[in-house]
Amino acid sequence: MPVRGLRNCSQIVTMASALKKDGRKIVPTDLSVIEDGAVIYDDQAILWVGRDSELSDEMKRVPSRDMRGHVVTPCLVDSHTHSVFGGNRAVEYGKRLNGASYQEIAAAGGGILSTVEATGKLGRTALVESGIARIEAMLARGVGAIEVKSGYGLDYDKELELTLAIDDLKKHFKGRARIFNTFMAAHAVPKRFATSNDYMRTEVIPLMHKLADFKAIDGVDIFFEQGYFSREDTILLFKEAASRGLALKVHADEFNDNKGAVLACEHGALSCDHLLMTSQDGIRALAGSPTVGTLLPGTGLFLGKPAANARELFDSGAKMAIASDFNPGSCHCDDLALIASLAAPLYKLNLGELWVSITLNAAHALGYKDMGAIVPGHAPRFTAFKCTTIEEVTYSWGKNLSVGVI
């Protein structure tokens, strides 16, 4: 197996200490920065990391890239996106700026259902092509692992097609980006069903079992929220998915405190996401659980919602991630580093918390325990930024300093 190296890196942000602390209660020194660093790896794993001056003669002979003037981090991980869809909702965005709420637009037949209509006009090839373009753009910004949800079909055949399109994306990007395929037919209730539970029992659960048979999906998700899916629906999905060994994720406590975070922890979900309204019991549950709490600050900002109780979540010892939630409605932004830059002062995060949220903890939100740190044994997936200190990356917010994923 060919062995390679990255040498003379201005800094390597290894996250070694953050990894030892399981991504909790992070302080800036947990970034474990190595100045003038080198890393040696093969196709499967990182073999060695340290200061360039400490390389053995044998390691110095390994074919290496000179990374002078670059900071190297674990690849960024976007653990929550809805990247496969048709059309756009710019008109709704205008309506929201002019006073309508996200829920009012949805109640009038817009929102997710309007993207469902636009997505219905695209076949699998067009869906895959637009997905490739979107994922290429994320890769160019240094994101090397991406979760992609279905959920704009809301019909047995269309959701099947969306999942297979995500599977095509997974194969297309193999070796360049890891794609986590999340089945989210429980994204909104189609108008033809009287209740969310009818839809769950008639289409969502049977299709989930079929996709599990195909081994096409990695996990499931559900929009547990008033006007969308209930606690009972969420528990049904969790039980059925767990019986097939699938990972559980949930859109939780976004507009109301539905105790979604508590429920996610009780069921051993990989992550619960949004958490705008999560209160003390949810925070306590996350603090004592392996379930990752994922904040989606771009969505709160774009919808003009009050920020999540982030400081308390981080201080409690919960394992916290930040993701883009890239989607056509509530956050039409795929720039994870920009979102984290904006979130840090909003949430009052230190630099260690900022970076752990988009690398190590985001990887854990996808069950990727071999990602998110530059330590021996971890997957060799790095992001290089054209600058000499880690501070510069998010200091230059909105500017892409990444030279891509290595």
Convert residues 192-231 into a mask of x (bound to ligand NIG by CB under 6 A) and - (unbound).
-------------------------------x--------
Task: Enter the tokens of residue 306.
Answer: 């009050």
What span, in angstroms and rounded, lies between the C-alpha atoms of 48 and 404? 22
At residue 185, φ and ψ (nearest 5 deg) are -60, -25
Q: How far is the CB of 331 from ligand NIG (least distance, A)?
A: 6
Q: Which stretch binds ligand NIG (CB under 6 A): 10-18, 170-178, 327-335, 345-353?
A: 327-335
Of the chain, the end-to-end C-alpha distance in Å amounts to 17
Based on CB atoms, which residue is closest to ligand NIG, 222 or 384? Answer: 222
Q: Report DSSP letters for 256-272, one per residue.
A: S--SHHHHHHHTT-SEE
Q: Does 335 bind Fe ion (CB under 5 A)?
A: no
Q: How far is the CB of 191 from ligand NIG (least distance, A)?
A: 16
Please identify which residue in 64, 291, 299, 383 interacts with ligand NIG, judged by CB under 6 A. Answer: 299
What angle in degrees, to the nearest 10, is found between the helix axes of 156-172 and 112-120?
Answer: 80
Q: Does 258 bind ligand NIG (CB under 6 A)?
A: no
Q: Does 330 bind ligand NIG (CB under 6 A)?
A: yes
User: Residue 133 belongs to what H/E stretch?
Assistant: helix 124-140
Q: Does 78 bind Fe ion (CB under 5 A)?
A: no
User: Residue 9 belongs to what H/E stretch?
Assistant: strand 4-13
Q: Does 328 bind ligand NIG (CB under 6 A)?
A: yes
Q: How far is the CB of 23 from ligand NIG (least distance, A)?
A: 22
Q: Does 267 bind ligand NIG (CB under 6 A)?
A: no
Name residues contacting ligand NIG, limited to 124-153 (CB under 6 A): none
Task: Enter the tokens of residue 259.
Answer: 């105790």
Q: Does 325 bind Fe ion (CB under 5 A)?
A: yes
Q: How far is the CB of 224 from ligand NIG (least distance, A)?
A: 10
Name residues contacting ligand NIG, limited to 341-370 (CB under 6 A): none
Tell me how far CA of residue 376 lies from CA of 40, 178, 372, 379, 382, in angstroms.
9, 19, 12, 9, 13
DSSP state, residue 229:
B
What span, in angstroms and rounded, lies between the C-alpha atoms of 199 and 379? 40
Q: Give the total residue count for the chain.
A: 406
Non-local (6+) Cβ contacts of 102 within 8 A are 96, 111, 303, 329, 330
Q: Which stretch binds ligand NIG (CB under 6 A): 54-62, 286-294, 328-336, 393-401?
A: 328-336
Q: How far is the CB of 398 from ligand NIG (least distance, A)?
A: 22
Non-local (6+) Cβ contacts of 52 within 8 A are 7, 8, 9, 36, 37, 38
Are 272 and 252 contacting, i.e. CB atoms less than 8 angstroms apart? yes
Q: Under rule CB under 6 A, how many of the chain's residues touch ligand NIG?
A: 13
Using DSSP's 3-state secondary structure scheme, residue 295 falls into strand
Based on CB atoms, which residue is closest to ligand NIG, 95 or 386? Answer: 95
Q: Does 82 bind ligand NIG (CB under 6 A)?
A: yes
Q: How far is the CB of 374 from ligand NIG (least distance, A)?
A: 30
Q: Does 225 bind Fe ion (CB under 5 A)?
A: no
Residue ranges that bind Fe ion, judged by CB under 5 A: 325
Residue ranges that bind ligand NIG, judged by CB under 6 A: 82, 111-112, 115, 223, 251, 254, 299, 325, 327-330
